Structures are given as C-alpha cells and as structure tokens.
Amino acid sequence: MTKNIKQNGLEILAPAGSMESVLAAVRTGADAVYLGAGQFNARQNAKNFDGDALSEAVAYCHGRDAKVYLTLNTLVGDQELAAAMRTAFLACDLSIDGVIVQDLGLASLLHKKAPSLPLHGSTQMSVSSLDGLRTLKELGFCRAVLPRELSREELSYLAKHSPIELEVFVHGALCMSVSGQCYLSAMLGSRSGNRGLCAQPCRLPFEAEDGVGHVLSLKDLSLIDALPELMRMGIASAKIEGRMKRPEYVAAAVRACRASLSQGEVPPGWKRNLQSVFSRSGFTDGYYENRRGREMLGVRGKEDVTAAKEVLSSLEALYAKETPKVPVTLDLSVKGGQPVSLTIRDEKGNQITEYAPPPQPVQTRPLSRERCEEQLRKTGGTPFFVKDVTLSLEEGMTLPVSAINGLRREGLQKLLEARAKRNPIPYEESDFPEETSKRNPERPGLVASFSSLEQLPDRETISRLQGAFVPLELPKEQLIAAAQSFKAAGVPLGVRIARPFGFYPEEKKERLLAAAKEAGISLVLAENLGDVKTGRDAGFSVAGGPFLNLFNSKAAEKARESGCQFAVLSPELTLSQAKAVTAGIPTGIFAYGRLPLMLMRNCPASGRCGACKKDSSLVDRKGVRFPVRCAGGGFGELYNSVPTFLADRLSECTGVSFLYLFFFEESKEEVSELIDKYQTGSGTPQKGTFTRGFAYRGVE
C-alpha cells in the first residue's frame, strides 16, 4: 500500500461502540467509523460487534459511502492468534476497509495471509518517528495512528516526510501515559490496557509532593478547531476517541468536526454542547500547542455529569433521521404497450432498473411530467437525494401514483444493497505450522541495565553478566569509562535507548548515537519499533527491550527479522507463557527492578518539565508511594512502588534464555548483592517490599 491522502479533504473518523453509534456517526457526517469485534480490541467493555451485527454495520456504512475500520489492537498470546486471525478473516469476507493492529506478531500474520487487507498501526505501537513510520511501511502497513502527545511542529514534520498515511486523535479522552507504554492498571489489578481492559486507576487520586492531587488525570483532548490546519499539513484522518461513550457524544463530535472543516470554525453553541455531553473539567490542546503543565489536568465532576443530562435529548435529534447525502439520477420511461421502467444510477456506476405493467391510455387526465418528477424526488427516509430526473413519457398515457412510488422505493432499496456489496478480500486460511522446539540453558544468564555509573559493581561481579546496558544520554567520557570497565571484564556493554527516544529531533538522535559509537559501544537496547531501525541504520547491533511488547512467538520472530539479536519479552507475560515463546533468538524476562508503569510527556511531579528536582514521587489514596524520574527529552516515568523479585525462583525460570535486571536507585553494594542472589538463587526480600510482577498472575 502506498500513501494516498484523501483528495477531497480530511477524513472524519468516528467511534462506534454500538449500532446506534454507527447511525449517529454516519448520519451526522462521518467519513468512516472504527469498531471492535470479539475480544481482541482495546475497548472490550464496549458492546462491540459480532457475526450478523458486524455484517449489518458494514453494510450500513458501505451503502452510505462510509468506511469501516476494525480494531484488532491488543496484544495477543500464542494460543489466541488463531482466534484473532478468524476475526480478521471475517472482516475480509465483509471487505472491511482496514484493520487497526498493535501486536507485531498478528500484523505479521495478517500481512502474510491477507496481503491486500489494509493495515493501520495502532497508537498502542507508540510510533512517533520517521524511522518508525518507515518500519511500518516495510511491515505492510498503509497508515499509522500517531501518539496524542505530539506538537503541531512534530505532526507537520512527520506528515511532510511520512511514507504512509497518518491518523491523528482530535477529540476525546487523554491518558497521562503514552499509549502502549502504560502498565499501571495491569500492575495494580491485572487489567491490562494493552489487552483492552484498562481499569483507569490514573483517574483516582494520586498526589504530588507539593500537595496537588489527581495529577495523573488529564482533561479531554480537543483539536477540532485545528482540523483545517491538520488537513493542510497532509494528515489523512481526524480520529474521535470514544467507543465507550454514548451515541449523542458521537453525533456532537462529528457535527463539530464537519463544521470546522466546512465553515472554518465551530459555532459557540455547538462547542458548549460538546463540552456538556462529556468532558473532564473542559478540554485541552496542550500537547498540540506545546504548552504542557498542570493546566492540562482535569477530573469528571458532578457538574460535568449534570451538564450532560441537559443536552442529551437535543443531541439525539441530530441523528434521528436518515441524512440524504448520496446523489442519484432517475430515468423513467412510460410508453404504450411496454412495461414501465425506472432506472436509478449513482455516481459509482451502480445501476438498478425496476419494471411495472404497461401504462393505460386515457383521454381526460393523462400523466403529467410535473406529477412524475414530484413523486420521484420523494426520497425521504433514505440516504439518497435526486440530482437529476429524465422523463420519457408518451402522451395520452396514465399510471397510478402508487406504481411510481413503488418503483422508486424498490429501486432505491436495491441500489442501497448493491452499494453495500463488495468483493471479499482474499486471504489464505491455513493452519499455523508447528512451533519448533526451543533449547534453553539449564540456568538463564543475566543481563543488567544500570541507571548510573555509580551503580556499576566490581570487575568480578560484572564478569557474572552476559551483557549490560547504561543510559545512552550519559556524557561521552562516562560512556568511555563504562565501556573500558566492561571490556576488561569480558562482558558486552551497550546503551539503553530511552523510551521517549522516538520523539527526539533527528539531529539529537544522530548526535547521541555518534557519541556512543565513538566511545567504543556497538550495541543498543531499543524500546520502540522505530528505534530498532534507527539503531540498526546507525551501525549498531540491536537488542529488543521489554517495552516493545513482544507478547507471542510471531512477534518475537518479527523482532528477529527486524534486526534484534536478542530480546526481552513483554513484562505482562507469565513465566509459563514466556518460556513457551520461540523466536530463533535468545529471549528473556523482566526479572528484577521497579517496572516503569507510565511514560509521560506531562510531568505529574511539578507540572512543568525542568522545574522539579528530577527524582520525586506520587502517593495514591492508600498511601502507597510511586517514584517519578525524568526520562529525558521532556518526559517523565512513573515507577512501581516495589521492585519485581524472582531470585529465589530460579528453578522455575529455566525455560528462558536470560533474566533482565533493571537497576533503578540501588547502590553499588546493593547491585552486587542482587547479582549474587540471581546467580546463586538465594535470598528473599522482606515481605511487602517486593512483587512477583506478572510472573504467576499474568494479565486479563
């Protein structure tokens, strides 16, 4: 698929959590809707569409020139891939217009089995760089849904250079974390946002050290006023969030988007209705305007709920009736001795002809042209309006009005059905090949990641590692010193690319990587799909980090094909799931450390990047403290309250190639002690000071 921006403007893409929302979206002017089917979508608690319901929704939209995109945008386990593919094949039978995908393994299978099925990279893939977009194109994607955290300037740059279409969220809920990089709900209650079951704990009270509360809850996003500008940039699609929301919300948002594009502005009254139907203390455009801070924070209060009740009935009227937006031409022929015929054509070349018995001659009141045209133009209750009427009437003939009405009614219904029919998308439905057995060492090796050089242990302890990583953004002289220490111990050292690296300007990326190479480092740990390509193209060997979200064997295989020499699997996998992954490269698990739970571009600790003391913390409603640390590039990371610890369970970890140890704030002495424990399998921390992570409980 090649980049193909809509020639007639920006696509308005609306959410559809129910058939009523489909009606609301299309009748108020949406060009496309996105919806879920079954269990593999990021809003499992929406009503979603299965079987006949999905077929009905697709037929309704296609008959009215609206596209339908199916969300298959969750991580998928090895045992779930076959079911996910069956859902995709159902979409192919219905000639769906695109599938939104997060999981790298599922995307790989879809591209192989149904190469003509349009693939859209979900915002859950966290692709925010040109290298990420180029990688998606290489993988068969034709569109990427960009992160909500990008500024006007960043969006413009990507739109100018992207090899594929770009989709941007313009209205709806705004998470504190970059999509696909949040593990808070999973860690606190096993309900994974990457699996479509986020419990939204971020909306609960989290208090910063200066006493400000609810610092993880943002106002809703609204860029509706910026739609004309986004269209000029070359953005292909303007996406409204909200498959869990009411159809009245969908109608109000679509109508406002349509007004912004057609009139250049949204009437003030419409904006008030939009805020009333759903908002959290109003709206924000802080990321787009590069104006981040605590003014972006918001919660849904009692006044927001009360305001919604006051506007719902008026908004329901927006989509109560069918909107005539499809032009047709009608050709009526009434001639003696011949069946009456009515031919209806649309602008796509569809044509329907209906027949009635021959007309009767009459002396007193023959059929008039005016009467015929009046009846033929009555298309109320359908999506059609009559653009032109051609009449071939023989004089002296008559025909019951009911016959004309019947021809028009039957003809328009058959035309609607013809417009809804599409050729199925071809796919290869075959069994998955048997996975090759994997051979793992009797005892997994150790790979460590350090946050600072002060944590580095002595040479003897270093020599126990198979490999290690230090932050890429360390000064060059520190990188040189670290490289020399590890070389002396005979252990490979690499640099860990920070999670927000994809958001960095290209020149900054080049400068940092060049400094690492000059320091003698040849390995990088990439946490983002685009960073895998960036590191590889810069001449480094690449390892995949835990936040690539490699959740199944196909995803790990694709990481290998993309250039990863070894990879840390998704931290949300259980031990048994991780041990079952086969990839052709060594794979490991997140076995120690405070798991980063959120990647944030709006610092909750101070509300203004650079105004804090770098290390801070948040306290939840139960008094639990979660550290916050600057991640570089204007980003912050929220860490788990306690570290993951598995050193005393080494006998149960023998099915993986290595254990990934993430050292956050540990001292040099603590690091040495922990490495010893993970080598010998001894020692358990005091109860309440650690977690087993997802090793045994997994995620929903």
Q: Does the structure show a pLDDT above 60 at 1? A: no
pLDDT digits (tens, 9 = 90+) for 102-135: 999 999 999 999 999 999 999 999 999 999 999 9
pLDDT digits (tens, 9 = 90+) for 377-429: 999 999 999 999 999 999 999 999 999 999 999 999 999 999 999 999 999 98
Structure tokens at 542: 């690449």
Distance from C-alpha of 468 to C-alpha of 571, rounded to nearest angstrom: 18
Q: Does the structure show a pLDDT above 80 at 45? A: no
Q: What is the DSSP letter of 218?
A: B
Helix (H) and strand (E) counts in the chain: 20, 30
Cβ 543 vs Cβ 527: under 8 Å: no
* Residue 694, burial from CB neighbour count under 10 angstroms (0-12, 13-18, 19+): buried
Own/partner pairs, 517-523, CB within 8 angstroms, 24+ separation: 518/476, 519/476, 519/479, 519/480, 519/483, 520/479, 520/480, 520/483, 520/484, 520/487, 521/479, 521/483, 521/493, 521/494, 521/495, 522/494, 523/467, 523/469, 523/492, 523/493, 523/494, 523/495
Q: What is the DSSP letter of 666?
A: -
Cβ 588 vs Cβ 567: under 8 Å: yes
Q: What is the DSSP letter of 4?
A: -
Cβ 549 vs Cβ 127: under 8 Å: no
Which string of DSSP letters, residue by residue, matches 394-416? Answer: -TTEE--HHHHHHHHHHHHHHHH
User: Please, which residues have CB within 8 angstroms of residue 27's CB and are 6 or more apart in sequence?
Assistant: 251, 318, 319, 321, 322, 323
Q: Does the structure show a pLDDT above 60 at 611? A: no
7 band by pLDDT with thresholds 50, 70 and 90: very low
pLDDT digits (tens, 9 = 90+) for 141-163: 999 999 999 999 999 999 999 99
* Residue 613, burial from CB neighbour count under 10 angstroms (0-12, 13-18, 19+): exposed
Whole-structure pTM value: 0.94
Instruction: Give me the domains of the chain, ranges plus CATH numbers.
Output: 11-174+218-319 (3.20.20.380), 326-420 (no CATH), 445-593+644-680 (3.20.20.70)
3 band by pLDDT with thresholds 50, 70 and 90: very low
Distance from C-alpha of 524 to C-alpha of 501, rounded to nearest angstrom: 12
Q: Does the structure show a pLDDT above 50 at 6? A: no
Within 122-249, strands assigned E span 141-145, 165-172, 206-208, 220-222, 237-240
Structure tokens at 97: 């217009």
Strand, helix or coil at 182?
Answer: coil
Distance from C-alpha of 85 to C-alpha of 38, rounded to nearest angstrom: 11
Amino acid sitting at position 223: L
